[in-house]
Structure 1
């Protein structure tokens, strides 16, 4: 099963992992959300992350129209499941 960033929900690979303070790879977060052991947007709200994620999906030129539609429709439910937004 594919791992996902526990902040934005993006598929997480070794190539896009964020970093801890000591420079090691963050196992749960991508480089867009987490760098040097800190959030890149520490005050971001769920709604802001949702808007940013949808904009990213829509801007992706490698994804077909139907898949984009599906991802945009399912993204809010998926984002609610990642750990950063569980307690919010």
Structure 2
């Protein structure tokens, strides 16, 4: 399976993920999704986050909670619609 540089749900750099990636149901590391988005084979975002646009808003909101500048958060989420999870 291909190893991704960025989470294919939120765009977070996989090398910065403190857990080294999300996890599959069998406990193996996900090479596609970060630990903030994916655990035990399921997405961890609220169920209403079902489009790229909603994911962008959600990520910006979460980044602001962590003290990240709003403009930087917006810039960091611009690629979300191009990620594998959100491609139609």
The question of 1:25 aligning with 2:29 is answered yes
Deviation at 1:69, TM superposition (A): 1.7
1:12–1:74: structure 2 CA closer, same or farther, 3 Å change rule? Answer: closer
* Uncovered stretches (5+) of structure 1, i.e. residues with no partner: none
Instruction: List runs of 5+ in structure 2 lacking aligned partners.
Output: none
Greater radius of gyration (CA): 1
For 2:42 and 2:72, the matched residues in 1 are separated by 31
**How many positions carry a matched residue from both structures?**
81
Which has a greater percent of strand? Answer: 1
> TM-score when scaled to structure 1?
0.72
Shift of 1:42: 7.0
Q: Single out whichever of 78-87 and 47-56 deviates more from structure 2.
A: 47-56
CA offsets per residue over residues 18-76 of structure 1, 9 Å max, x none? 00111111001011211111112373222321111111332333x5x5xx52441452x
User: CA RMSD, aligned part only?
Assistant: 2.4
